[in-house]
Amino acid sequence: MPENLSNLLAYSENHTEPDFIGYGLLRRRAVMFLYGEYSSFKSWLAQDLAISLASGRDWLIYPTSRARVLIINAELSRLDYRIRWLKMITSRKLLGNEAVKSRIAIENSAEVKLDTSFGCNYVMSLVEKYRIEVIILDNLFSLAAGNLVSNVDANILIANCKLLASRTNVAVVWVHHARQGIIDLRSGGNFIQQAYEMFVSSFLTNWADTIVESRKENGHENVITLTPQKHRLSDIHPMGAMFKFNPLKAQFDIYV
């Protein structure tokens, strides 16, 4: 049903959405991609984000609003995942903080497929059961049954995620690998296409509200550059920064 402009403006004045990640990087019903090449610490960044949201602390250099988080890991075994979480929680002195830990729900399975009705309904049931506000999905190809370079299969995933967001008001964060880089034959170097390195086609890239790239810095061990490449809901240009991952403490320190 159409509405007049006065009603629409009144709605915007009376309804504000929290920034789960500051500067408009992640809001309710928004979709964010965190992508990068192999060994650019994407899964560590995803876990760090979950802890930051659950505790209401800054994620790297970005403020957060406290939220209940569901993180679905489709890559690591339960034992390996436990080791990672134990290291991260301990280094942040949160091991005895039951309030923070209770705000993180973990599904450690590669059987969940978000582009199937069963998978979508299962995740929706978890959201309702644990009152989840942010879902972190690690990673895209492991949690989809279809061929995501096909617009038909990709559109099923997009439709399911939109249905999930509209019914539950959750924000969704996808962890994703960069595709193989393109070689510029004229210069002999890599041709960087920024966020379009995520996919051969652009339909999933266009769907995202926020895209953040994690890129390894050659010649600097454990150093990444984190760059917001798309920030559709932000009124400003969010800053990027370089971080050095400390494997002993499982945390990211500002490098530059």
* pTM of the predicted model as reported, rounded to 2 decimal places: 0.89
The two three-digit tokens of residue 163, written as one number:
């249905």
pLDDT at 11 over 80: no
**β-bridge partners, 35:** 176, 213
Helix 42-55 and helix 78-91, axial crossing angle in degrees, nearest 10: 50
pLDDT (tens digit per residue) in 128-173: 999 999 999 999 989 999 988 788 898 999 999 999 999 999 999 9
3-state SS track over 187-215: CCEEECCHHHHHCCCCHHHHHCCEEEEEE
CB-CB contact of 135 with 123 (8 Å): yes
pLDDT in tens, 188-233: 555 455 555 565 567 788 899 999 999 999 889 999 999 999 999 9
Strand-pair partners of 210: 32, 231
> Over 90: is that where the pLDDT of 85 sits?
yes
Q: How many CA atoms lie within 13 A of 15 on its CB side?
A: 8
Work out the end-to-end distance of the chain between its first and last CA atoms, rounded to an integer number of angstroms.
Answer: 51
What would the two tokens of residue 166 be? 């509209």
Q: Is the pLDDT reported for residue 182 higher than 50?
A: no
Is residue 186 exposed (0-12), middle (13-18) or buried (19+ Cβ within 10 Å)?
Answer: exposed
Rounded Cα distance, 117 and 157, in Å = 10
